[in-house]
Structure 1
Amino acid sequence: MPLLDMPLDQLQTYTGINPRPADFDEYWERALAEMRAVDPQIEMVPSDFQTPTAECFDLYFTGVRGARIHVKYARPRNSSGPHPAVVQFHGYTGHAGDWYERLAFVSLGFSVFAMDCRGQGGSSEDAGGVKGNTHHGHIIRGLDAGADHLLFRHIFLDTAQLAGIAIDMPEVDGERVYAYGGSQGGALTLACAALEPRIRKAAALYPFLSDYRRVWEMDLAKDAYTELRTYFRFFDPQHQREDEIFTTLGYIDIQHLANRIRGEVVMAVGLMDTVCPPSTQFAAYNKIQSAKRLEIYPDFGHEGLPAFSDKVVQFFLQD
């Protein structure tokens, strides 16, 4: 088969090249302490969309730095007791999607929490100076203000905070809360499971936000990663700060969070993926220490992967 990246045997042992900051663990413990100190001020507003089997709400909570985060929350109507739940995360610059997309899990007896990432295509705020969406440049957002101001730091914390909210819902079985998403959503799924160790299972489809320096060296800082190239061209055209920049991005590199995951993981990768290169995904997968399984699609890129959604449903039901 053609090769976009390393041969498969090398991918299976590759562990990434983007620097891991020396104080990485302390950084995230400090960030989690900030998150836990926030009063989430949870609000649930019945949605105009309702079905005979699903009760739907617009759920809002306050995340770090004061942003109000919007979640589409659908739960089984007339459920007889605590039931499992899925927290879902969407692709880069997108949004939580339609209510219709929640109904398959609800029909199986799951509550579903689908989060709008702050400042992207949905209703969550980016409170970093403006409200509403800021839509692009989120990887580099806050880079020059210092690592504590990275926007993806806040988004990663939003995922963990939402998972905690889901676990604490009286109608939810807190022992059976799962995370699921693709691309950016795959990255957020792994970040969520890393920062909220009570996540029992995580299903990540070709995760984004991993091994930034590898993306750069492959000349794939385009498409979803194009802002890396834009940043260097505008703000460090001679790469005098290259090591500093990649080290700072290391705080929001999911490969460095992966070893914190305690739940079981299933992940899927297409070996022809030019958006999130396979090696960057393997860098994260190879550092997961909990039970895990990788579904490999040799001829597929950053696209729908046949039957993976079916595999995820079966994975969550086998509990």
Structure 2
Amino acid sequence: DHHYRRLITDAVRAVAAVRTLPGVDAERVAAVGNSQGGGLALAVAGLVPDLAAVLVSAPLLCGIRRALDLTDAGPYGEIAAYLSVHRGAEGAAYRTLAYLEGVSFARRAHAPAHFGVGLRDTVCPPSGAYAAFNRYAELSGAEPRKEIHAYPFNGHEGGDAVHVRRQLEWLAAVVPAP
């Protein structure tokens, strides 16, 4: 049993639970997250076909193998530390991590998407966010509404309040109030 399998399952079930709440318009539910939450939002977007939108910033677990080559920060450093002790376990580790690859979830998504990325992010390298963005909704058969905002001089925090304002403006345009 893997921690992230439970997290992803819980995130998908959270969408189903939110949709049953009084006062919630089930057709206007979006997945939103930053870092680990961004990776989970992408997983939800790939597993829940009728989301209204997905808003992702600095997504974790996107472009995992490349991230392991680029950084020792955060969880990628933990994976590298594990593999430094468990020599020869790379193949098994990569096979397991492939189940969590955010780019794979992004490819299956359908909802309009808004991405944010700090180009100096050492925790979640920007190449992972771009990989997810570039392949987003690839398997849907339609060109999705998607956009990405890059912050060249920011790290994991990305655009902070500036980006949140952009997200809210975008969300209001994509999922307008009834």
How far 1:263 moved relative to its partner?
A: 0.7
Secondary structure at the aligned position of 2:156 is classed as coil
The superposition leaves residues 35-89 of structure 1 with CA deviations (integer Å, 9 ceiling, x where unpaired) of xxxxxxxxxxxxxxxxxxxxxxxxxxxxxxxxxxxxxxxxxxxxxxxxxxxxxxx
How far 1:313 moved relative to its partner?
A: 1.3
Match of 1:266 in 2: 114
1:256 and 1:304 map into 2 onto residues whose CA distance is 23
Identity %: 32
User: Larger % of helix: which?
Assistant: 2
Equivalent residue letter for 1:258: A
Instruction: Indicate whether 1:241 and 2:84 are aligned.
Output: no
Match of 2:46 in 1: 194
Match of 1:300 in 2: 154
Residue of structure 2 aligned with 1:221, choices 53, 57, 72: 72
Match of 2:141 in 1: none
2:117 and 2:158 in contact (8 A); partners too: no
How far 1:258 moved relative to its partner?
A: 0.8
1:273 and 1:302 in contact (8 A); partners too: yes
- Normalised by the size of structure 2, how large is the TM-score? 0.87
1:295 and 1:183 map into 2 onto residues whose CA distance is 15
2:8 and 2:43 in contact (8 A); partners too: yes
Secondary structure at the aligned position of 2:115 is classed as strand
Match of 2:171 in 1: 316
How far 1:233 moved relative to its partner?
A: 2.4
1:223 and 1:193 map into 2 onto residues whose CA distance is 24
2:145 and 2:99 map into 1 onto residues whose CA distance is 24
Match of 1:79 in 2: none
How far 1:244 moved relative to its partner?
A: 2.5
Match of 2:37 in 1: 185
User: Larger % of strand: which?
Assistant: 1
Equivalent residue letter for 2:156: H
- Normalised by the size of structure 1, how large is the TM-score? 0.50
Equivalent residue letter for 2:111: G
Larger Rg: 1
Matches within 5 A, 1:247-262: 247-262=95-110
How far 1:274 moved relative to its partner?
A: 1.1
Unaligned ranges ≥5, structure 2: 138-143
Instruction: Indicate whether 1:162 and 2:17 are aligned.
Output: no
Instruction: Indicate whether 1:231 and 2:82 are aligned.
Output: yes
The superposition leaves residues 9-34 of structure 1 with CA deviations (integer Å, 9 ceiling, x where unpaired) of xxxxxxxxxxxxxxxxxxxxxxxxxx
The alignment yields a C-alpha RMSD, in angstroms, of 1.5
Equivalent residue letter for 1:294: I
The superposition leaves residues 218-240 of structure 1 with CA deviations (integer Å, 9 ceiling, x where unpaired) of 2x133232210221123x23xx2
Matches within 5 A, 1:1-319: 149-218=1-70, 220-234=71-85, 236-237=86-87, 240-289=88-137, 290-306=144-160, 307-318=162-173, 319=176
1:196 and 1:247 map into 2 onto residues whose CA distance is 24
Larger relative CO (CA 8 A, sep 6+): 1 or 2? 2
Match of 2:140 in 1: none
The superposition leaves residues 130-186 of structure 1 with CA deviations (integer Å, 9 ceiling, x where unpaired) of xxxxxxxxxxxxxxxxxxx22101101111100011122231111101111111111
1:248 and 1:191 map into 2 onto residues whose CA distance is 16
Aligned residues: 167
2:116 and 2:38 map into 1 onto residues whose CA distance is 9
